[in-house]
Amino acid sequence: MTEPDLHERIKWRAYLLWEQQGRPEGRAEDHWFRAEAEVAGVNSGEEAPPGTPGAGEHICPTCEGTGRLGRKRCKNCGGTGRIVELPEP
């Protein structure tokens, strides 16, 4: 994977984390570092499916992983179907 591709994957994942957390201000660095770790895990073949104990990512209980509630995007997970637990700062 080239450096620009890697940067874009990290940027996109950080954005999704930010949305899942309700778009909080002042947490960009936390989201970026978490995204870097997740993308690095994917690149090393260590990706765990959502709901794996200790992975920090769970299937959204509100939409049951679909990302939708009826015709609308699930507000609990931001439409991803996953809930990510961020470490406390």
Token pair for residue 46?
């260590």
Distances (CA, A) of 57 to 20, 43, 63, 82: 11, 17, 15, 6
Question: Which pLDDT tens digits describe the chain residue by residue (89 residues)?
Answer: 577 788 888 888 888 888 888 888 998 888 888 888 877 765 444 555 554 545 667 778 888 788 888 889 888 888 888 887 765 55
- pTM for the full model? 0.47
Residue 18 inside a domain? The answer is yes
Domain total for the chain? 1
Enclosing domain of residue 21: 3-84
Decide if 11 is inside a domain: yes
Structural domain contains residue 89:
no
Asked if residue 21 belongs to a domain, the reply is yes
What's the rounded Cα separation, in Å, for the pair 26 and 48?
Answer: 28
Residue 72 in any domain: the answer is yes
**Residue 39 domain flag:** yes
